[in-house]
Structure 1
Amino acid sequence: MVRSIMIQGTGSNVGKSMLVAGLARAFTRRGLRVAPFKPQNMSNNAAVAQGGEIGRAQALQARAAKREPHTDMNPILLKPETDTGAQIIVQGQRRGTMRAGDYRKGKAALLEAALESFLRLCSDVDLVLIEGAGSPAETNLRAGDIANMGFACAADVPVVLVGDIHRGGVIAQIVGTQAVLDDTDLAQIKGFAVNRFKGDISLFDEGRDDIAIRTDWPCLGVVPWFNDAWKLPAEDMMDIRSHMGGTCKVVVPQLERMANFDDLDPLSGEPNVSVEIIPPGRPLPGDADLVLLPGSKSTIGDLNFFRAQGWDIDLYAHVRRGGHVVGLCGGYQMLGKTITDPEGIEGSTGKVKGLGLLDVHTVMVGQKKVTQTQAIETQTNLPVYGYEIHIGRTEGADCDRPWLKVGKRAEGAISTSGRIRGCYLHGMFASDGYRSAFLQELGHSSDLNYEESVEETLDTLADHLERHMDLDLLLALARAPKRA
């Protein structure tokens, strides 16, 4: 009989996604059929799954469980487009854009979709590992909640509460969460864990015991900082960071609505590559080998943001010095001459000037494209693999020099100099052969088998949790969910 358990956190970014990925690999290695599940996620870093798109973290967790990703693993995905509005993805498909107030009114129907997906997942696995979102202590959001206790109570699944000691105040995080929850929600919590400890774990024995005495919950473990976390794909923009490696310098402007920045992960993993994320207010460094413009959930808005930082001036100077530029998806659209949004897909209708580094023009029309893609890179004839998630059609003279061939279809564009290129394909740098050839073009070598590195890191993470968490107790706490 299937069992399930939910990992909730005392706040956002306490390491829930990483813990679920490690647990998925650990229990899969024990011979269980495991599936990850997150009822509601908010992220612009999406993955293509069977049926549409899901959060990148659930795709990684599915990989950890050695399962194909499916939209039932993350039935509600919110992709922020503005400070008050987000695109709503339900069971993999775009349902339009909602403002925060309207979304809260429609949560009841979304909970039904989440439960439907959850029960389908339960039909052919032994264990469903559920990840919460944010914190259950946000009492102002409890009515209609589908991300934390609302879902846990509806499906009657037990909860383990995780605090992040690296932030400080972990005793208050966990004990304070207990203090603000009502009795119904408290009944779902069966234990706690402390994540991201640095140093001698025994130094926190008294703190661990104090939490257990105050809450009457058992501790499932104090988990040390996992040093190899950076080797795994990041989901949240809070997780992306500069990674200092070798002499090849890749510079990435941190756009306000960055999306699908997992393109950076294989480059960050290269020993000979340094990836530098440039925050707002800082100029793009003048010694970059490559400036990479990442994807964006709001291309025109991020183009305006890019210019407001003065990065357009820095980019033109980089090109004059002979530097290389890559634009992926939204970044590709920004490199063109114009972007037109006749239907107001990104907000207001209109036409704006692009950066003008590629002779292409983009029109924001058509159905959203969500697909896995295999292609051939035109300069090397090497295979590349990735995915497309975008709205828009890009055409122009530089498309006559396509970067890729997808079957008979030309994809992307290359400038006459050959140093500026863009396309809609995400994930292409995970293809080891092509990444090696690309870095060689920049004058550097590649020493990484990326996919093998991810698998090794997931195994190392599972070993880490086996040592520092009581996985037997966690499995014993899991129970059969309530059926509809």
Structure 2
Amino acid sequence: MVQGTSSWAGKSLVATALCRHLARQGIRVAPFKAQNMSNNARVVDGGEIGVAQYLQALAARTPPEVRMNPILVKPEGMTRSQVVVSGKPNPEISALPWRERAPHVWPVVFESLQSLLADYDVVVLEGAGSPAEINLMDCDVTNVRAASTADASVLLVADIDRGGAFAHLYGTWALLPREARQRLRGFILNKFRGDASLLAPAPERLNTMTGVPVIGLVPWFHHELPDEDGAAPPVEGDGAMSTVAVIRYPFASNLDEFKPLEQVARVRWARKPADLNGVDLVILPGSKHVASDLTWLRSAGLDRAIGARARQGAPVLGVCGGLQMLGMRLHDPYGVDGAAKGLCLLPVETTFEREKITRRGTFRFASTLAAPWATLANREVEGYEIRHGHTRPLPTAGVAISAGIGWVQGSVLGVAVHGVVESWDVLQALFGRVPQYSLDSTLDRLTDVVMANVDARFIEELVGLR
């Protein structure tokens, strides 16, 4: 199991690398995270899971499935979240206070973990946050309890770039219950840059104090895998690239789908009107709380800036919740999201239904698309839908993708499906470039770096390969 001293320490990175490393050895390996908190999800057989476990399954060369992330918590406000259980939203558990959820979700976690352990040679578990959150230890299902259930050896990762990594490692070890301490087999320092000789004698002293060796020093390196929550600042592209602004509202979702854009365009998060200056394309991404994010967008003045661009004929793309915002109105008869007036840039209306649509599919752009979207005409894309909103066109809406998936009016295009800008065909059509690295080659490159900087033999012994 890979745990971390904090969020963003590098748990997902190391777990992903271990999945690919073990798969290379011919081991049948599966990822597992009992409970993930993220608004970035992917559709798999049975519903939706967090993007990190989806990518880890691909790294493991095994089909992603809901058992790999049985509980997904999707924030909808500062104190409210939707709880997805085995791929499907559970409104009853979602309504419970945080501490009261554990007894309801643990049976699902236990069954999923046990079945994966029975079906695979190795299961790589990932923790959440820190295992030493002593204020939440009584209701934790992802760290100590999951490790104990799986009888897992634990590696603990710290982000050394933040400073204080040795204190983080020792403090976490010291706060853990005795049984959890005994499971700790190795420490990994992640995001290192500088002179490694300056670390001495800290690793040796830490080993003396805890009995746990430092078994890895992973350097800071660039890779093309999205962050678990997709919120990291985009990597700057070269000056010859087009510039794309992605509106970064508070509850933006599925931001990971824009990671391939960084290889073909300069991508920036936009939080104020000035962030749209000089850009070639504005994207309104998905949202976990469309009405709330629409209110934020107006308070930031971005509604006027986006409207002005559309009236000037500059391209604006809305994806899922972004499409819904671009429409005339949001209707919410069941209290799912919120009712509101839209930006009125697309002649469509959206009604939020109780049931959430989660499905994958192949979609084709209409042959009649005009500039600035003409290059997408007849292009076929694979994508996925995760939405409560059902959007219907008004008479003047132009069809961009049939079957109620996309509409266009002038320079404004809205699609209900995620994954459009992950398509190399679409990227070539819009930007005249394709990414240098595929997802699979990214997983290989990431694994090569991580495994070259940890004690691979030590880890293989932990899982019984030696």
After TM superposition, is the score higher than 0.5? yes
Q: Distance in 1 between matches of 2:434 and 2:334?
A: 46
Give the superposition deviation at 1:282: 6.1
Aligned to 2:415: 423
Asked if residue 434 in structure 1 is aligned to residue 422 in structure 2, the reply is no
Kindly indicate whether the alpha-carbon contact (under 8 Å) linking 2:233 and 2:268 is maintained by their aligned counterparts in 1. no
Q: Unpaired runs of 5+ in structure 2? A: 370-376
Aligned residue pairs total 455
Aligned to 2:246: 252
Asked if residue 321 in structure 1 is aligned to residue 312 in structure 2, the reply is yes
Q: Alpha carbons of 1:334 and 1:427: their partners in 2 closer, same or farther (altered >3 Å)?
A: same
Give the superposition deviation at 1:477: 2.1
Of 263, 270, 277 in structure 2, the residue corresponding to residue 286 of structure 1 is 277
Q: Distance in 1 between matches of 2:400 and 2:427?
A: 14
Of 112, 118, 143 in structure 2, the residue corresponding to residue 123 of structure 1 is 118
**What's the secondary structure of 1:154's corresponding residue?**
helix
**What's the secondary structure of 1:283's corresponding residue?**
helix
Q: Alpha carbons of 1:478 and 1:7: their partners in 2 closer, same or farther (altered >3 Å)?
A: same
Residue pairs, 1:322-341, within 5 angstroms: 322-341=313-332
Q: Distance in 2 between matches of 1:161 and 1:247?
A: 39
Aligned to 2:148: 153
Aligned residue identity for 1:403: A
Asked if residue 241 in structure 1 is aligned to residue 226 in structure 2, the reply is no
Q: Alpha carbons of 1:102 and 1:410: their partners in 2 closer, same or farther (altered >3 Å)?
A: closer
Aligned to 1:312: 303
**What's the secondary structure of 2:138's corresponding residue?**
coil
Aligned to 2:454: 469
Instruction: Give the alignment's Cα RMSD to 1 decimal.
Output: 1.9
Aligned residue identity for 1:263: E
Q: Distance in 1 between matches of 2:234 and 2:210?
A: 35
**What's the secondary structure of 1:129's corresponding residue?**
strand
Give the superposition deviation at 1:382: 1.5
Give the superposition deviation at 1:241: 2.9
Aligned to 1:401: 398
The range that moved more, 67-76 or 424-433, is: 424-433
Aligned to 1:88: 83
Q: Distance in 1 between matches of 2:144 and 2:407?
A: 48
Kindly indicate whether the alpha-carbon contact (under 8 Å) linking 1:24 and 1:36 is maintained by their aligned counterparts in 2. yes
The range that moved more, 203-212 or 187-196, is: 203-212
Aligned residue identity for 1:458: L
Kindly indicate whether the alpha-carbon contact (under 8 Å) linking 2:319 and 2:415 is maintained by their aligned counterparts in 1. yes
Give the superposition deviation at 1:298: 0.2
Q: Distance in 1 between matches of 2:46 and 2:134?
A: 33
Q: Distance in 2 between matches of 1:414 and 1:286?
A: 23
Aligned to 1:370: 358
Q: Distance in 1 between matches of 2:25 and 2:221?
A: 21
Aligned to 1:208: 203
Of 104, 111, 131 in structure 2, the residue corresponding to residue 109 of structure 1 is 104
Aligned to 2:372: none
Aligned residue identity for 2:455: D
Give the superposition deviation at 1:367: 1.8
The range that moved more, 299-308 or 261-270, is: 261-270
Q: Distance in 2 between matches of 1:63 and 1:315?
A: 37
The range that moved more, 300-309 or 150-159, is: 150-159
The range that moved more, 332-341 or 281-290, is: 281-290
Kindly indicate whether the alpha-carbon contact (under 8 Å) linking 1:157 and 1:478 is maintained by their aligned counterparts in 2. no
Asked if residue 266 in structure 1 is aligned to residue 260 in structure 2, the reply is yes
**What's the secondary structure of 1:77's corresponding residue?**
strand
Q: Alpha carbons of 1:429 and 1:356: their partners in 2 closer, same or farther (altered >3 Å)?
A: same
Name the TM-score, length of structure 1 as normaliser: 0.90
User: Residues 269-320 of structure 1, C-alpha deviation per residue, up to 9 Å, x if partnerless?
Assistant: 21xx1111124x5633221111100000000000001111111121122223
Q: Distance in 2 between matches of 1:338 and 1:447?
A: 36
Asked if residue 355 in structure 1 is aligned to residue 343 in structure 2, the reply is yes
Aligned residue identity for 1:17: S
Kindly indicate whether the alpha-carbon contact (under 8 Å) linking 1:337 and 1:356 is maintained by their aligned counterparts in 2. yes
Give the superposition deviation at 1:159: 1.2
Aligned residue identity for 2:155: V
User: Residues 46-80 of structure 1, C-alpha deviation per residue, up to 9 Å, x if partnerless?
Assistant: 01112110000101101111111000000010000
Q: Alpha carbons of 1:398 and 1:307: their partners in 2 closer, same or farther (altered >3 Å)?
A: farther
User: Residues 121-141 of structure 1, C-alpha deviation per residue, up to 9 Å, x if partnerless?
Assistant: 122221111000000121000
Aligned to 1:24: 19
Give the superposition deviation at 1:377: 1.2
Q: Unpaired runs of 5+ in structure 1? A: 1-5, 440-444
Give the superposition deviation at 1:153: 2.1
Aligned to 1:442: none
